[in-house]
Amino acid sequence: MLLTLFESHTHFFLSMFQKMILTKIISNTLSLHKKQLIEWLPAVRYFSSPTNPLVNVDVNDKSGIAVVTMNRKPVNGLSLELFEAMSKALDDLENNRIRGAILTSSCPTVFSAGLDLNELYQPDKKRFKAFWTTFQDVWLKLYGSSFPTAAAINGHAPAGGCFLAISCEYRVMCPDYKIGLNETRLGIIAPIFLRASMRNTVSNREAEKALTLGTLYSTEDALKIGLIDEIAIYKVKAIERCENFLAQFNNVSSIARSFTKRSLRQKDLEELENCREEDFNIFWSNLIEPSVQKQIGDYMQSLKKK
């Protein structure tokens, strides 16, 4: 299109020969600098894909930052359907070259209660396979996204909720909530990809302690060990802080940034890519152990009795 415009405007002023030479020069320059050109083009407007009620995506046209809101009441239990919606939203964001994404929740006091326990209790193997595969997809897309990510943790974030947050690059949490990986308390073994996200966030020693003890940290303690980066009083403020973090990348080449992120996370991503089936088999055989099923069943009852 640029070339057509150029051609039409120069039509009256240049001879055919001059036009051919200039057109060639511009065309070569454009293809040589195609990558750089992409960098300074403004963020593309997010096309309005059919909204999924489980995940709302709202892109600020000016900043190019998307706020991705999980919306599965009452506690954003991560079901197959929620993972499918997240996976689709992440694809859309990747295809639309947004400048950054902020993950948050529409539930007033819960970011996410982790995996929906109904998916884990007395599971049907076929559905569980689809569930686990989509969970792996979401992690690969979130952890390996080309755009920068942040989590505005506006409520409790146990287990899978914490996991989503630590798969982002930055975390801002509201006070008086709990966050952590308590799965061992349910008899669940940490999958390989969870260990990668955790080690990438806190020291190896803290990761080991946190995972084996299944500790749930207060917002303040989470800040002390580096599980979160900042505390913000309300959700709106948490989103603002995440925006500030993401805005810092406006002065950084997006290609250099995304390649650097990719190369730092590549090993972790490949580790899962190369053993997706094995990862499923390990989790499945642990999950269907009668003692684990009993623990999950009792835990679900205790949550209902509250």
Ligand X SMILES: CC/C=C\CCC/C=C/C(=O)SCCNC(=O)CCNC(=O)[C@H](O)C(C)(C)COP(=O)(O)OP(=O)(O)OC[C@H]1O[C@@H](n2cnc3c(N)ncnc32)[C@H](O)[C@@H]1OP(=O)(O)O
Active site residues: 115, 160, 182-183
Nearer to ligand X, 109 or 281 (CB): 109
* Residues 143 to 172 in contact with ligand X, rule: CB under 6 A: 156, 158-160, 163
Among 54, 75, 172, 246, interactor with ligand X by CB under 6 A: 75
Beta bridge partners of 153: 173
Chosen residue from 137, 183, 243, 279 binding ligand X by CB under 6 A: 183
Confirm or reject binding of residue 303 to ligand X (CB under 6 A).
Answer: yes
Residues with Cβ within 8 Å of residue 28, at least 6 apart in sequence: none
**Please, which residue, 6 or 299, has the CB nearer to ligand X?**
299
The phi and psi torsions of 100 (rounded to 5 degrees) equal: 170, 160
Nearer to ligand X by C-beta: 77 or 123?
77
Q: Is residue 54 close enough to count as binding ligand X by CB under 6 A?
A: no
Of the CA atoms within 13 Å of residue 290, those in its CB half-sphere come to: 0
Among 42, 74, 175, 226, binds ligand X (CB under 6 A): 74
Q: Are 152 and 106 in contact (CB under 8 A)?
A: no
* Contacts of residue 131, Cβ cutoff 8 Å, sequence gap at least 6: 79, 80, 83, 119, 123
175 near ligand X, judged by CB under 6 A: no
Residues 6+ apart with CB under 8 A from 59: 45, 46, 65, 66, 67, 96, 98
Our CB check for ligand X shows the closer of 26 and 130 to be 130
Residue count (the chain): 306
Q: Which of residues 216-275 bind ligand X (CB under 6 A)?
A: none
Complete edge-to-edge strand list for the sheet that includes strand 178-180: 157-158, 178-180, 216-218
Q: CB of residue 239 vs ligand X: minimum separation in angstroms?
A: 21
Determine the Cα–Cα distance for residues 64 and 59; give it in Å rounded to an integer.
6
> Quick one: 38 or 303, whose CB is closer to ligand X?
303
Q: Which of residues 100-139 bind ligand X (CB under 6 A)?
A: 109-110, 113-118
Positions touching ligand X (CB under 6 A) are 74-75, 77, 109-110, 113-118, 156, 158-160, 163, 181-184, 186, 188, 190-191, 194, 211, 303-304, 306
